[in-house]
Amino acid sequence: MNIDIIDYESCSAAGINLAALRVSLRQHKSGLIKNDLPDSALNTWIGRVEQVDAIDDLQQWQSRNNALAALGLEQGAIKQTLANLTKKYGSARIGIVMGSSTSSIDRTETAYTDLDTNGELKPKFRQPLVHNPHAPSLFVAHYTGLTGPSLTINTACSSSAKVFATGARWLEFGIVDAVLVGGVDTLCLSVLHGFNSLQLLSENPCKPFDQHRDGINLGEASGFAILQRGTENTNSSGIRLTGYGESSDAHHMSHPHPDGLGAKMSMTQALQRAQLPPDAIDYINLHGTSSRANDLIEGRLVSELFPRTTLCSSTKAWMGHTLGAAGITEAIIAMDTLKTNTIPGSMNLETLDQALDFSIQATDQQRVCQHVMTNSFGFGGNNCTLLFSRVG
């Protein structure tokens, strides 16, 4: 593969942009807070991006999800990079691939709790392009002015990891000359109380892979990356997407395959596509949700497939599990280690699950990495693994 990462930005409770995220990771400063979502009394912790509350000028595009996407697009140099590419190729030659699991269901919730006296949607909530599974890509196209092909992927928590694979295929087949990939998901009652009904939420800050973990924390985030064929790239970040793997367990609506067959397939596919052996991987950003089953299955797979020289961590204790935005958020954290030479530890890890034995530590590690990997595993057994490498 010859797909370069031109630019990338992240926006979450751990940092409104990549620079702030780096500081939070270095200082082990979590963005999780006690649940204060309006109309929810659940005793849990959440990763809420408070700056989103002030964005209320999107008019017919208004929703919390779109507001968080807009906030993310305003960070760093993403908009300028897109402007430069648009000038070079034209807006129709730049694609958009977004991942989300909620789209703008937050706005739909609000609309149905504020019906008019006839039980109909009020005019301000009559937003067909917002109450729509494709809303994230529709809004990003509107906000950026891009007119190329667009796609929204909803494969639960692997959604915005799979955007990289789709973007890479578009580039390889010449459908576009550059792709804006991203993901956005926001906190809403449907999500928070839905996960509570599954008895997955923790009343404490999450502890991925810890012996005493008792559930997950949910968060919200947006993130973006710009991909281009390496042969045409003169402005590389020095990072290349060298492999990806996708699979589906087809086992259960919410529980992963007990032997992790789909997850194993996605990791081995990524290695094969990159033509790399397991011992070439310096670091794996684990899916690591802090649930009993998922952590155990993933940890055992990593022990089976990789040597102990492969360092691992989960970073969900910084911003929570951001669902459809988890893939892009953690892809950015993983690829950024190729720039910072710092592998983040697993915050809140005190005692590793006694059933596991692999190289995961609570403290940061300094290492010049050549190849890094990130896992995203979603409900329905939708799995995706990404592999990034240093260029040169």
pTM of the model: 0.96
d(CA 341, CA 145): 35
- Residues for the chain: how many in total? 392
Q: 374 - beta bridge partners?
A: 285, 386
What pLDDT is attached to residue 262? 82
DSSP class of 210: B
Number of domains in the chain: 1
User: Would you say 176 and 92 are in contact if contact means Cβ atoms under 8 Å apart?
Assistant: no
Query: Residue 54 is part of which domain span?
Result: 3-390
- How many CA within 13 A on the CB side of residue 219? 32
Q: 373 - beta bridge partners?
A: 284, 387
Residues in Cβ contact with 10 at an 8 Å cutoff, skipping those fewer than 6 apart: 17, 18, 21, 72, 75, 221, 222, 223, 328, 329, 332, 333
User: Would you say 335 and 328 are in contact if contact means Cβ atoms under 8 Å apart?
Assistant: no
User: Would you say 245 and 267 are in contact if contact means Cβ atoms under 8 Å apart?
Assistant: yes
What pLDDT is attached to residue 237? 73
d(CA 184, CA 164): 14
What pLDDT is attached to residue 249? 79
Q: Return the CATH number at 42.
A: 3.40.47.10
d(CA 120, CA 126): 10
In 290-369, DSSP assigns E strands to 311-313, 342-343, 365-366
Q: For 355, phi and psi rounded to 5 degrees?
A: -85, 0
Query: How would you classify the pairing of strands 221-229 and 178-185?
Result: antiparallel
**What angle do helix axes 292-305 and 261-274 make, rounded to 10 degrees?**
40
Neighbouring C-beta atoms of residue 110, cutoff 10 Å: 18
What parts of the chain have a pLDDT lower than 50?
A: none
d(CA 152, CA 132): 10
3-state secondary structure of 332: helix
User: Would you say 215 and 291 are in contact if contact means Cβ atoms under 8 Å apart?
Assistant: yes
Neighbouring C-beta atoms of residue 243, cutoff 10 Å: 25
What percent of the chain shows pLDDT beyond 70?
96
What pLDDT is attached to residue 160? 97
Q: What is the largest CA-CA distance in the chain?
A: 65
What pLDDT is attached to residue 236? 65
Q: How far apart are the first and last CA of the chain?
A: 14
Which tokens in the block code for residue 176? 């576009």
What pLDDT is attached to residue 381? 76
